[in-house]
Amino acid sequence: MKTVNDIDFKDKKALIRVDFNVPLDDNHNVTDDTRIQAAKPTILKILEDGGSCVLMSHLGRPKNKEQEFSLQHIVKTLSDAIGVQVIFVPDSIGPKVEEAVANLESGEILLLENLRFYEEETKGDRDFAEKLSKFGDVYVNDAFGTAHRAHASTAIIADFFPENKCFGLLLASEIENVKKVLESNEKPVTAIIGGAKVSSKITIIENILDKIDHLIIGGGMAFTFIKAQGGKIGSSLVEEDKQDLALEILKIAKNKGVAVHLPVDAIIADAFSEAANTKISSVDNIPDGWMGLDVGPNTNEIFAEVLAKSNTILWNGPVGVFELEKFAEGTKILGQNIAKATQNGAFSLVGGGDSVAAVQKFNLSDKVSYVSTGGGAMLEMLEGKTLPGIKAVYSKS
């Protein structure tokens, strides 16, 4: 895998696809600069070599070049993070950009306007990609969050750099860490798959069953498995049409020697609300009108035992409605047990929006081995798919 560490950028312009799709408040201030910080090592390496950086990214899903989606809003945060005053050009292609790039000197950073102000970006337009390609000597893809999209700046543009393309340090790290789970010899390997629906996680489960020893299933999706086995789940979330699939997964897992761990008890509530009445119930005997919104204490203990003896852990999806304080305990304890296993030598990978939000909420980000920045991209890698943005950098044109 060729990365920025394999290239000397002295007097070269690096055209870097970054993922600066960061959250902004009502005043357009950056509220979380995690993705900006994640791109910093790549940018600094190029500057320290004596090169310059032309950064391109998208922000949100603009329909018509709305000012709220301008990347100008992130310039101050980006400049502060890197320690270099970033030059901003209010376009992605055209004469203004050409002039700004021509005037760019070693040690300087130029940020282009939101790529999605041009519909050609998401359409993967070749002419648009070629115009962008003129702004650098070397193409660097460091945007894992968009690596699963065949967009002009992530997949098509690489064709115009047959010999001069590489991965940024963040994207290289993401690839390596997902591979660590998928190709791990550090057994037992445990995957925790949570969240609301079986249907959104089925391909991941099918792809990883050959590679894991334990599968922990939590969150709303667990109730489809419980009901499929004849359990009473009250008003809990269920995908009625996925019960046969749930049984099939259990059967395949058994045949492959994978131990599946489902919740045995739940914190149940009479409404989806912080103000709801709650009690603990066996997971397969929930009264009508009540719903399971978190795992119970016995389940926490069972999951803790599995994690304590695991050497490789993948966590994707919460085991309860952790956004509501009343139903956050199970996900919090799970995260703490993953952190404990990590401290004892296990490798732990956390990915997918809700899991990342959970480790941040419970201050566990620096207590696990790796937190993935790309939810959809990581999930597609776990599903065994080839990501267009990654394939484009590997391939010879």
Q: Is the pLDDT of residue 117 over 90?
A: yes
pLDDT tier, 198 (very low <50, low <70, confident <90, very high otherwise)? confident
pLDDT at 46: 98
Distance CA 219, CA 217 (A): 7
Q: Is 126 annotated as a binding residue?
A: no
Tell me the CA distances in angstroms from 217 to 30, 200, 249, 320, one per residue in order: 35, 13, 11, 11
pLDDT category at 384 given cuts 50, 70, 90 is confident
**Regarding predicted confidence, which is higher, 108 or 373?**
108
- In the chain, where are the structural domains located? 4-171, 184-382
Does position 241 have pLDDT exceeding 90, yes or no? yes
Residue 9 scores a pLDDT above 70: yes
Q: What share of the chain has pLDDT > 90, as a percent? A: 86
| Window from 43-47, 58-62, 349-353 with minimum mean pLDDT | 349-353
17 annotated among ligand-binding-site residues = no
The whole-number average pLDDT for the span 312-337 is 96
Average pLDDT over residues 244-265: 97
Query: Which fold is adopted by the domain 184-382?
Result: Rossmann fold (3.40.50)
Q: pLDDT digits over 138-189, tens only?
A: 999 999 989 999 999 999 999 999 999 999 999 999 999 998 888 878 899 9
The answer to whether 28 is annotated as binding is no
The reply, when asked if residue 50 is annotated as ligand binding, is no
pLDDT number for residue 376: 77
**pLDDT mean across residues, the chain:** 95
Nearest to 113 by CA among 44, 54, 46: 54
How long, in residues, is the chain?
A: 397
Q: Is 127 marked within a binding site?
A: no
Identical topology for domains 4-171 and 184-382: yes
149 assigned binding-site residue: yes
What is the model's pLDDT at position 185? 84
Q: Which residues are catalytic?
A: 35, 197, 353, 376
For 121-151, what is each residue's pLDDT tens digit? 999 999 999 999 999 999 999 999 899 999 9
Mean pLDDT of 342-364: 91
CATH 3.10.580.10 fits 4-171, yes or no: no
